[in-house]
Amino acid sequence: MKVFFTYQGIEKKYFYEFEVSSSITVSELIKFEEIKEIISNLDHDLVIGVNGEILDGNFKPLPHKYRLKDGERVELLRPLNQDPKERRLKKI
């Protein structure tokens, strides 16, 4: 099965495609060497999402319980530089 990984940093952007077994969890995927290297260079908290939805244990399971499906995209999310609401208010 094919899954994707992405991290869109400020300076560098990463996009990987992995061929994995059908029972892999998100926690197992982020232990891959390429991803561990990216995580080790982060200067912010680790926030993981799948297809744009955060794995927080409330609405989506935590990463160690979430089994990936074919074609899903795992994302490392970074904090916003500017709050979108504040940005819109400044435009007015």
pLDDT score recorded for residue 57: 87
| Segment 45-85, tens digit of pLDDT | 899 999 989 999 888 899 999 999 999 999 999 887 777 78
DSSP state, 52? T
Q: pLDDT category, 86, cuts 50, 70, 90?
A: confident
pTM recorded for the entire structure: 0.82
Mean pLDDT confidence for 28-39: 94
Average pLDDT, the chain: 90
* 68 Cβ contact partners less than 8 Å away, ≥ 6 residues apart: 1, 3, 20, 24, 25, 26, 29, 50, 74
Could you give the domains of the chain?
A: 2-91 (3.10.20.30)
